[in-house]
Amino acid sequence: MKQTLSFFTSSQRTFLPLLLFGTLIIILQLNNYLLMTVWAIATALIFFINKSMRYFVWITLAFGIGFFLYIYGNTQWIADMYTEETRVILNRFFLIIVIIPLLCFSFIYRLPFISYWQKPRWAEYVQVPFIWLGFRQVKVSAFLVVAMMINLITFMPFISWTYIQEIWRFALIFSILNSVLEETIWRGVLLSRFSACFGNRWAVLITSVGFGLQHYSLGFSWISCLLFSVGGFFFGAITSRSKSIIPSIIWHMLFNLLMVFSGVIVG
């Protein structure tokens, strides 16, 4: 394992991994088999020509297999479910399908499944407002509280107490399920693997873009997907700084609750 990772130097931290990973997510959601074939041929050439990319290619393929099966399952198995609420919950539950190939990859390479599954370093200092860049330093705990308060204030004008009473059970189930599974995939497994390859900041960039783009399959526009990528950056950065996915799960859970209560996500 160490021998594999030793191939990665600063010269390999280019846009090639971001391009390969991002285009795969787009192509799978477009369900274009011609583009899938072109991507597979190009990736195979890179695999055999550049040894330093092989570990990354295996990770990407493991994710791609799981993501393909996840999309297939949602379109073929639950598309005709009777209630929208049931479809949404099952859609999120099916994220487990994405996790299984990544779990197998970790087992084959004898790696810990998630490097960031530990107690957060709440006292670690981050920069405001961009965690790695800003005008002052605050602790992770303070940053998280302020960020969540900003989210709450932003969504508050669009939230109805009557609607909350009608939808709170769905909102709670959705928010817990979605935040735990998405953070396990993006800030847990993939950020752990890509950090070992390219370093923390480049790994955050790759996973943030991927996290945003995958929302297209949920019915969001590509512009909205770019906005989700911004959120993915903050989730990834706070995970990297705190050495734990727990802060991002908490933050993500609140954000999902607010999206449901404001009607952005409808059950």
Tell me the pLDDT tens digit for each residue of 135-153.
Answer: 999 999 999 999 999 999 9
What are the tokens at 186? Answer: 């993006």
**Per-residue pLDDT averaged across 184-190, rounded?**
97
82, pLDDT greater than 80? no
Residue 13 clears pLDDT 80, i.e. is over it? no
Residue written as tokens 């990859």?
105
- Where exactly are the structural domains of the chain? 2-261
> Which of 26-35, 70-79, 232-241 is least confident?
70-79
User: Which string of b and e fits 229-241 if b means at least 16 CB within 10 Å?
Assistant: bebbbbbbbbbbb
CA distances from 236 to 12, 120, 178, 233 (A): 21, 13, 16, 5
Which H/E stretch holds residue 173? helix 161-183
pLDDT of residue 267: 66
- In this prediction, residues 175-194 reach a mean pLDDT of 97
The pLDDT of residue 83: 84
Residue 4 has pLDDT above 60, yes or no: no
Cα distances from 192 to residues 157, 242, 253, in angstroms, run 37, 13, 21
Find residue 128's DSSP bridge partners.
Answer: 136
CA distance linking residue 181 with residue 259, whole number of Å: 17
Arithmetic mean of pLDDT over the chain: 92
Q: What is the mean pLDDT of residues 188-196?
A: 95
What's the mean pLDDT in 232-252?
98
State yes or no: pLDDT of 5 exceeds 70.
no
Per-residue pLDDT at 56: 94
Residue 32 Ramachandran class (φ > 0 left, ψ -120 to 50 alpha, else beta): beta
Could you give the CA distance from residue 98 to residue 94 in angstroms, rounded to a whole number? Answer: 8
Q: Full-prediction pTM beyond 0.75? A: yes
pLDDT value of residue 26: 97
| CA gap 127, 56 in Å, rounded | 30
